[in-house]
Amino acid sequence: MSLKLRLNVLISVLLGLVLIGGAFFAMQRAREDVRAEIQSTMNLSELMLGAAWTGASAPEAGPVFDPQALGRVRHLRIELYDAAGRLLQTNRRSRVPEAAGVPEWFARVLTKMTPAWDEVRRPLLAGEEVVGELVIRPDPSYEIEEVWKDSVGLVQLATLLFVGMNFAVYGIVGRALRPVDRILDALTGLEQGNLKTRLPALDLPELARIARAFNRMAEALEQSVTQNRRLARRLLQVQEEERKSLSRELHDELGQYLSAIHADAAAILNRDDAALAPVRASAQAIVEACRAMMDIVRGMLARLRPGALDELGLKEALRELATGWRQRHPAIACALEFAGELDDLDEAAKICIYRLVQESLTNVAKHARARRVEVRLARISGPGSSVRVQVRDDGVGMDPSARQTGFGLAGMRERVESLGGRLVVENGRNGGLTVTAELPLPTDTRVLG
């Protein structure tokens, strides 16, 4: 339940309680007023009727009061009986109390809340003889009707007040909380990697403090992430330089020695000197060991620093990488697709793309159980131009709930983000895993991710 709805419900409950309490209090006051008014009317009517009866010999001798005049006495039922108990005169046409338009339940509730009144009976004397009886009974029906009309008016007014106040509260609270949407949008932008997100100055003091704290946090986060990316990029550069230096030493030093050992062993093996016959088997073993070690060194050189990347460019280096990968994993088809010029990228971008594809293919071979993998590279022109790298397989995908303990994806993400790019790893709709990286071109100064 939203905050606006909660406030409306709370205000509605409070208004309802106030109205119920006010209605109860009003009914109590109305009951007391009705009782006092009826009691006063009874006393006055009793005195007036007693005076009007003075000197009458018998009720049959003639009317002792005017029924029409007594009919205006709304709260009392006045009846005159003879000595035999027959009704002679009354100020009501009907013996049943009437309350026009009053629901029966309301009349019952008000009647139960009001204590019963005692009727007044006065004997009528002619001399010392009882010739009749005057009965005065309270009749609250008219007063109940008035209370009902007042209650209906009060409920209508309360309804208008309730509706108006709820609309007002909803509008005021909605207006006051409108900056919350801005805060949520800013948090979403920050979550998506837009570190430039800032909140404007807000009017509400509480939200203004939140905005200032958010801006300080976003600024600190931007500085920290920028610094970390700069450090990560520098570390990767140092790592690549060290790999390049190590591959050069392996190629120039160890490679030459292995080539020399191989040549000497081959020379011994190819000589026809009978004196060398005992060592030909050892020479053959040395030749084979040298070949094996040279293959190992070539593999190490390819992993440390792909020579084709410097000599032939990114596309040819990736083709060579895919060819070697197919030879090691013949059961998995591997397709390459290029779009746009890719060989004019700077060295950092080329190395990042090469390592990304290399690590992705390694993961496919180890974990995917796939039958096909596709590698697509495309250059996206226009404003905010970039290079998109996508590696997609048809394997088992990745369990989102599984905890990733390896450094493969983390290393790829670190490489991509160090260049200001963005890496997305997601399961495909029909299975498999898709790794997508987008790297901004050097001329693009925007921060993606």
Which pLDDT score, from 0 to 100, does residue 63 have?
46
3-state secondary structure of 132: strand
Separation CA 39–CA 50 (nearest Å): 16
Label residue 445 by pLDDT band (50, 70, 90): very low
Separation CA 111–CA 265 (nearest Å): 125
How is residue 70 written in tokens? 């007594």
The answer for residues whose C-beta is within 8 angstroms of residue 316's C-beta and 6 or more apart is 308
Q: Which of 305, 326, 348 is the last residue of a domain?
A: 305
Q: Which DSSP category does 436 fall into?
A: E
3-state secondary structure of 377: strand
Cβ neighbour number for residue 417 with a 10 Å cutoff: 21
Q: Which domain holds residue 409?
A: 313-449
Q: Which of 273, 305, 337 is the last residue of a domain?
A: 305
Note whether 263 and 358 are same-domain residues. no
For residue range 349-360, what is the model confidence (pLDDT) as tens digits?
A: 888 898 899 889
Q: Kindly report the CA angle at 410 between 238 and 392, in degrees rounded to 5?
A: 110
Which pLDDT score, from 0 to 100, does residue 131 have?
79
Note whether 277 and 343 are same-domain residues. no
Note whether 9 and 132 are same-domain residues. yes
Q: Which DSSP category does 40 fall into?
A: H
Which pLDDT score, from 0 to 100, does residue 68 have?
46
Judged by phi (left if over 0) then psi (alpha if -120 to 50, else beta), residue 141 lies in alpha
Q: Which of 133, 153, 175 is the last residue of a domain?
A: 175
Label residue 203 by pLDDT band (50, 70, 90): confident
For residue range 260-317, what is the model confidence (pLDDT) as tens digits?
A: 888 888 887 777 776 667 787 888 888 888 888 888 887 777 777 777 777 778 888 8
Label residue 391 by pLDDT band (50, 70, 90): very high
Q: What is the average pLDDT across 85-105?
A: 67
Total domains in the chain come to 3
Note whether 436 and 348 are same-domain residues. yes
Which pLDDT score, from 0 to 100, does residue 30 have?
66
Q: Where are the alpha helices (DSSP H) in 329-402?
A: 347-363
Judged by phi (left if over 0) then psi (alpha if -120 to 50, else beta), residue 101 lies in left
CATH of the domain at 349: 3.30.565.10
Note whether 202 and 330 are same-domain residues. no
